[in-house]
Amino acid sequence: MKHLRTTISILILAFVIGCTPQEKPEKPLSKVVNESLAFAEKQSLLMAQSLKDQPTRLPKTIDQQGELETCGSEWWVSGFFPGVLWYLYENSNDKQLKDWATNYTLRVEDQQYTTDNHDVGFMIFCSFGNAYRLTNNEAYKKVIETASESLITRFNPMVGCIRSWDEAPWSKQWEFPVIIDNMMNLEMLLWAGKTFDNPEFIKVAETHANTTMKHHFRDDFSSYHVISYDTLTGEPEAKHTAQGYSHESAWARGQAWGLYGYVMMYREWGNQAYLKQAVNIADFILNHPNLPEDKIPYWDFNAPDIPEALRDASAGAIICSALIELSGYVSGKKSADYLAVAEKQLRTLSSREYLADLGKSGNFILKHSVGHMPNGTEIDVPLTYADYYYVEALMRMKKLQ
């Protein structure tokens, strides 16, 4: 009798387990990475071919009809698509990709002389920086040196920063605006300083990073978007936003630029203060109660309509790439936590929710970014820089594995 009862219990248990829906095992991360890179390659070749007859244009976003919107080399995003092509060439060694990468890189060449904004670092280092890294072509190196000379013309020693914007309609109220995004331009300066043995490039980069560390961050290590400086005293005269929800909010891409910027400063210059800053910024982002489960941030951490607020895939991709690198500079639980969040972000961005369909979304790789919410432009669209940092993150994860 006892035997029979045990047998019946086992049968019931087996039946219950059999009826419980079984979770599908998660795809191995290496498969996600390889499949996403393969898709990015196909999509980017379509993009490259689509602009073959417009030799001065570069991909920017899509318009309200869903059609590709392009820009000339002077727009700040011009270097990202050449950079995507270089990363994909690095992955596959495909000659076609190299030819297109070269073609699109040369479209940006004239920007080495740009002195009227700070974006020369983005434009030249994502394009020519990757081109030189993968080809050792001396001509590319020279372009980076010239661009670095152009960038430091914007440095003001009283302020201790490179000026971001000149007088523009949106920046008239500021005497000397410096935006957190500007940290990204320092990578080119540090690289050029070391490569060309130019201490001035290094001094400017270091001073800018130190000044930004002093004035751009709140006590919780979130950052303002714009700090405007008084050029007579060198002190901040305004702490504002241009692209965030409010002056005191944490605009998601701004937090991403700051994180990436200080991780990069630590890699290039090895100062522990930069590593500490990067860890503090990462912890602000990762512990934020408004960071969703899937780890792709809302466009602003303080957007008033959370959880209905739009996500920003570009911020997610930049944070992801930075966290993968940062996980290699810390140890133990911290390292594992950073890598786990980066893995979650890569899986989310590589899902059907964020990845475009082949030949759709203007041939961009990712959907769902936010460019400039207060301006009402580039809202819930693909953005070329989201693609760049996503592909960079895929490559970084692939190398780690």
Q: How far is CA 299 from CA 169, 185, 313, 317, in A?
A: 23, 22, 8, 13
Whether 119 sits among the annotated catalytic residues: the reply is yes
196-200: long-range contacts, CB 8 A cutoff, minimum separation 24 = 196/145, 196/148, 198/148, 200/152
Task: Indicate which single residue of 109, 181, 187, 312 sits in contact with ligand GLY (rule: CB under 6 A).
Answer: 181
Taking the complex as a whole, the smallest distance from the CB of residue 329 to ligand GLY amounts, in Å, to 24
The C-alpha angle 40, 41, 42, rounded to 5 degrees, equals 95
Q: Which of 65, 191, 45 is nearest to 128 (CA)?
A: 191
Contact between 223 and ligand GLY per CB under 6 A: no
Contact between 311 and ligand GLY per CB under 6 A: no
Nearer to ligand GLY, 104 or 165 (CB): 165
* Cis peptide bond upstream of 307, omega within 30: yes
Nearer to ligand GLY, 132 or 299 (CB): 299
Taking the complex as a whole, the smallest distance from the CB of residue 162 to ligand GLY amounts, in Å, to 14
Nearer to ligand GLY, 351 or 375 (CB): 375
Taking the complex as a whole, the smallest distance from the CB of residue 227 to ligand GLY amounts, in Å, to 15
- Active-site annotation holder among 119, 300, 312, 387: 119
Nearer to ligand GLY, 33 or 120 (CB): 120
Task: Indicate which single residue of 243, 321, 327, 361 sits in contact with ligand GLY (rule: CB under 6 A).
Answer: 243
Whether 53 sits among the annotated catalytic residues: the reply is no
Q: Please measure the distance between the N-terminal and C-terminal CA atoms of the chain and give it in whole angstroms.
A: 56
Q: Between helices 384-400 and 29-50, what is the axis angle to 10°? A: 140
Nearer to ligand GLY, 311 or 347 (CB): 311
Taking the complex as a whole, the smallest distance from the CB of residue 302 to ligand GLY amounts, in Å, to 17
Give the Cα separation of 188 and 124 in Å (integer): 8
What tokens appear for 117 in the block? 């904004």
Contact between 253 and ligand GLY per CB under 6 A: yes
Taking the complex as a whole, the smallest distance from the CB of residue 225 to ligand GLY amounts, in Å, to 9
CB 165, CB 131: distance < 8 Å? no
Taking the complex as a whole, the smallest distance from the CB of residue 76 to ligand GLY amounts, in Å, to 6
Nearer to ligand GLY, 253 or 367 (CB): 253
> Which positions from 5 through 34 interact with ligand GLY, judged by CB under 6 A?
none
- Active-site annotation holder among 94, 181, 219, 337: 181
> Which positions from 39 through 98 interact with ligand GLY, judged by CB under 6 A?
76
Of all residues in the shown chain, the one whose CB is closest to ligand GLY is: 181
CB 88, CB 39: distance < 8 Å? no
Give the Cα separation of 148 and 123 in Å (integer): 11
Taking the complex as a whole, the smallest distance from the CB of residue 345 to ligand GLY amounts, in Å, to 18
> Which positions from 346 through 385 interact with ligand GLY, judged by CB under 6 A?
371
User: How many CB atoms are closer than 10 A to CB 197?
Assistant: 9
Give the Cα separation of 33 and 333 in Å (integer): 24
The gap from C-alpha 163 to its chain's centroid, in whole angstroms, comes to 21
Give the Cα separation of 276 and 266 in Å (integer): 9
Nearer to ligand GLY, 347 or 368 (CB): 368
Give the Cα separation of 258 and 294 in Å (integer): 21
For the annotated catalytic residues, the residue numbers are 119, 181
Residues near ligand GLY, by CB under 6 A: 76, 181, 243, 253, 371
